[in-house]
Structure 1
Amino acid sequence: MTYRAQPYPRELRERAVRMVAEVTPNYDSQWAAIGAVAQKLGVGTAETVRKWVRQAEIDQGQRPGGSTEESAEIKRLKREVAELRRANEILKAASAFFAAELDRPSTRS
C-alpha cells in the first residue's frame, strides 16, 4: 500500500511562494531561496516548494503550462467519464438480461 501524506494547507503553500519571491534577491539563485524557505517553514523538501513556485508562475501567466483550475477541471471530467462508463456497463448488462428474457419461450398456457 502506498502512503500519501495529506497535502500542505493552501495558506502555507501561498505563504511559501510569497516568501520565495521576497527573499530571492538575497540569495545567489532562486533554488537557494527555495531551500531556505522550505527549511524555515518545515516543508519536507525544497522540491515541494519549487513545484508550488512553478505552479504559481503558471497560474499567473509567467510560465507556460496548465493552470491549477484547468488541472482541477480535467480531474473532475475524468471522474465523470469513469462514472458514466460504469453506468453504461450496468445498462448494457441490464439490456442483455432483458433481451434474453424476451427471447425465452413462454411456459404459460
Structure 2
Amino acid sequence: MRFRRKQGRVGSGSNRSRRYPEEFKRDAVALVRSSGRAVTGAAREFGVSAEGLRNWVRRDRAGRGQGAPGELTTAEREELRRLRRQNREQAETIEVPRKAAVFFAKESGR
C-alpha cells in the first residue's frame, strides 16, 4: 500500500520540517495500529521520520485515553488550554482597575 503525502517546506536548508495533512497522519497511525508493524518500517513506507510517526501514534493513544499514566488526553489538553486563556483574560480584567487605583492614589497624594 503506497500513500502520497503533501509536503511543504518550513524553514530552509537541510534541516527542513514537513507538514502533513491530518488524513495522511490518521492513515499512517491506522496502519501501525491495525497491522502491529514496527513504527520504523511503517515510517519508511510512508516516507516520514520514525520519530514523527511515533509522536502521531503517541498522540492518538493519548486521545483515546490509552496513553501513559499522567498523560493528558486531547480533550483534556484542549480544556487546559481554554482554561489557561480564560484565566489570563480574567487576570487582565482585574489588573486594569488595580493599576487605575494605584494611579489615582498617587495623583491624590500630590
After superposition, the Cα gap between the structure-2 partners of 1:70 and 1:8, relative to the gap in structure 1 and judged at 3 Å, is farther
Bigger Rg, which one: 1
Q: Percent identity?
A: 34
Structure 1 residue aligned with 2:44:
39
Structure 2 residue aligned with 1:61:
65
Aligned-residue offset at 1:98: 2.8
CA distance in 1, matches of 2:82, 2:64: 22
- How many pairs align? 93
After superposition, the Cα gap between the structure-2 partners of 1:99 and 1:6, relative to the gap in structure 1 and judged at 3 Å, is farther
CA distance in 2, matches of 1:72, 1:6: 24
CA distance in 1, matches of 2:19, 2:82: 18
Structure 2 residue aligned with 1:19:
31
- Unaligned 5+ runs, structure 2: 1-10, 12-16
In angstroms, what is the RMSD of aligned CA positions?
A: 2.6
TM-score by length of 1: 0.64
- Unaligned 5+ runs, structure 1: 28-32
CA distance in 1, matches of 2:19, 2:75: 17
Aligned-residue offset at 1:104: 5.1
When you count helix as a share of all residues, which structure comes out higher? 1
